[in-house]
Amino acid sequence: MRKKLLLINGPNMNMLGIRQPEIYGSDTLGTIENLTVERARELGYECECFQSNYEGAVVEKIHEAYGKVDGIVMNPAAFTHYSYAVADAVSAVAIPTIEIHMSDIHSRESFRRKSVILPYCIGQVAGLGKESYAVGVERLVDYLEGRSHV
The rounded distance, in Å, linking the Cα atoms of 35 and 82 is 28
Quickly count helices (H) and strands (E) in the chain. Answer: 5, 5
The rounded distance, in Å, linking the Cα atoms of 112 and 109 is 6
Active-site residue identified among 63, 82, 84, 101:
101
First to last CA, the chain: 24
How far is C-alpha 106 from the geometric centre of its chain's CA atoms?
17
Task: Give catalytic status of residue 101 as yes or no.
Answer: yes
Q: Are 55 and 79 in contact (CB under 8 A)?
A: yes
Residue 100, class by beta-carbon neighbours within 10 Å (0-12 exposed, 13-18 middle, 19+ buried)? Answer: buried
Task: Give catalytic status of residue 24 as yes or no.
Answer: yes
Active-site residue identified among 24, 45, 120, 133:
24
Q: Which residues are catalytic?
A: 24, 101
